[in-house]
Amino acid sequence: MANEPKESPTNHAETQKAPTKAAKRPEDQEPQHRSRGVRRVIIESAIALAAVVLVLLGLAGVFHRKVDTSPVAPATLAVESVAVPVATTVYSMPRYEWAVGTVQAVNETALGSKLLAKVEQVNVKAGEKVVKGQVLFKLDDRDLQARVAQARSAVDGAQAQLNQAQVDYDRIMKLSKQNAVTEHEISSATNQLQAATAQVQQSRQALQESETILSYATIQAPFDGLVVDKRVEVGDTVSPGQIVVKLYDPSRMQFVATVRESLAQNLKIGQSLPTYIEAINKLCLGTVSEIVPQADVASRSFDVKLVGPCPPGMYTGIFGRMFIPLGKEEVLLIPKAAVSKVGQLDLVEVQIENRVQRRTVQTGRTFGEYVEVLSGLQPGEKVLVSSGQVPTAGPEVLPLQLLRDIPSTAPAANDGL
């Protein structure tokens, strides 16, 4: 008994604590598992969000360079042998203002019916050319022909009465020379002759009236022209004043532009102005034939009419723009071939002694083979252009470019546009 080992206090304490540690209940461990799950969800969501952001940035091109931003102190390049330096030059260019308008026919008409009748014949269709006097429509005229026949019969009857009255008058006058008739008989024969004469005139006027009304049943073209619209068909009943067809003369056209009052002061009768017709891509040289001396109250503008040579393919209602000269302006120009686009930037290569500097410029309007420089260059600086793209002609304004298509003869004031 004396040799039995004694239990150490430490082992005894551990033995006493072990049951306490193992005795933790499941409801005490549940909050720990829950907090770990929440942290895992947060970490996974953050990783997914970061991946989505990286994908969107990649699609937006953030990781791809659009312009080389590598440091090149003055960004210089060696002068290529195929490039030709061209000096930037200030040109005095004519300045124009647009005025929109519409092509209209000088002779345009709408034919209507003067009768209440049924349409019997239609001899025309839209887009067809007609000549003066051509029958376009024929209306039912049977009642009108009957009236004409009655009027002719009335004329024949009145003429017969006039002949008889003339015979009686001649006989009475012969007898009066022999003192074989009374004054009453002479005056009676004279009055009968005058009445018969008046009756003949009245019947003839009635015949003319009936024939005129009969002519209304036949609708004819008043001039050579082109049919725009046909509004009735065979069998339709038309009434007085109803429009049946519209036509115009395509050989005589005019351009009617709406010009604001500040620009109208620069125009005068007989002045030649270029007018650009976009539908046919032509520039017509017109002459101011009329300036309506009254401004529109709402728009404060005047109607200006131009006439001149008419190019093929011109139709009424076509949209156009009229050039109004406003003097000249100073413009800094370079060849269009000298400008290269990188993204949304306009770049040029400027020669400085034997080196080239790439520079960003802001461009404006186009003048033929030249382009306007609004900023980035100074007059006299030389830009490089490929030797095969150096302009051979000077800058041109749009009207001057298209004036080559205009006949050399000046238009008369009464010619169609």
pLDDT of residue 32: 64
User: Based on the domain organization, do 225 and 264 belong to the same domain?
Assistant: no
Residue 145 lies in a domain: yes
Residue 222 lies in a domain: yes
| Cβ within 8 Å of residue 127, ≥6 positions away | 226, 227
- Whole domain around residue 241: which residue ranges? 113-140+217-248
CA–CA gap between residue 187 and residue 191 (Å, rounded): 6
User: Which of these, 352, 118, 85, lies nearest to 234 by C-alpha position?
Assistant: 118
Among the ranges given (54-58, 71-75, 144-148), the one the predictor scored with the smallest mean pLDDT:
71-75
pLDDT at 165 over 90: yes
User: Which of these, 275, 279, 256, 272, lies nearest to 323 by C-alpha position?
Assistant: 275
- Average pLDDT of the segment spanning 148-175: 93
User: Which of these, 327, 295, 322, lies nearest to 308 by C-alpha position?
Assistant: 322
Question: Which has more confidence, 309 or 107?
Answer: 107
pLDDT at 400 over 80: no
C-beta separation of 334 from 383 below 8 A? yes
User: Based on the domain organization, do 226 and 321 belong to the same domain?
Assistant: no
Domain closes at, from 197, 214, 231: 214
User: Based on the domain organization, do 253 and 373 belong to the same domain?
Assistant: no
Which pLDDT tens digit goes with each residue over 252-306?
889 999 898 888 888 889 998 888 888 888 888 889 999 888 877 788 888 999 9
Residue 234 lies in a domain: yes
Token pair 């156009």: residue: 320
User: Based on the domain organization, do 255 and 200 belong to the same domain?
Assistant: no
> Considering the entire predicted model, what is its pTM?
0.56
- Average pLDDT of the segment spanning 229-251: 93
pLDDT of residue 12: 44
Backbone angles phi, psi at 205, to 5 degrees: -65, -40
Residue 412 lies in a domain: no
pLDDT at 130 over 90: yes
Domain closes at, from 194, 229, 248: 248
pLDDT of residue 215: 94
Query: How many domains does one find in the chain?
Result: 4
Which pLDDT tens digit goes with each residue over 197-225?
999 999 999 999 999 999 999 999 999 99
Residue 224 lies in a domain: yes
Work out whether the CA dihedral 119, 123, 124, 130 comes out positive or negative: negative
Residue 48 lies in a domain: no
Neighbours of 331 (CB within 10 A): 21
Query: What token pair was written down for 200?
Result: 């003949």
pLDDT at 149 over 70: yes
pLDDT at 100 over 60: yes
pLDDT of residue 156: 94
Question: Which has more confidence, 376 or 29?
Answer: 376
pLDDT of residue 64: 62
pLDDT of residue 61: 65
User: Based on the domain organization, do 169 and 207 belong to the same domain?
Assistant: yes
Query: What token pair was written down for 65?
Result: 């360079």
- Average pLDDT of the segment spanning 247-251: 89
Query: What token pair was written down for 175?
Result: 């007898």
pLDDT of residue 6: 45
Q: Which helix (H) or strand (E) holds 28?
A: helix 26-59
Domain closes at, from 279, 308, 327: 327
Residue 19 lies in a domain: no
Band of pLDDT at residue 45, cut at 50, 70 and 90: confident
Band of pLDDT at residue 44, cut at 50, 70 and 90: confident
Among the ranges given (68-72, 197-201, 334-338, 349-353), the one the predictor scored with the smallest mean pLDDT:
68-72
User: Based on the domain organization, do 352 and 387 belong to the same domain?
Assistant: yes
Q: Which helix (H) or strand (E) holds 34?
A: helix 26-59
User: Based on the domain organization, do 117 and 244 belong to the same domain?
Assistant: yes
Residue 44 lies in a domain: no
User: Based on the domain organization, do 131 and 159 belong to the same domain?
Assistant: no
CA 58 to chain centroid, in Å, comes to: 45
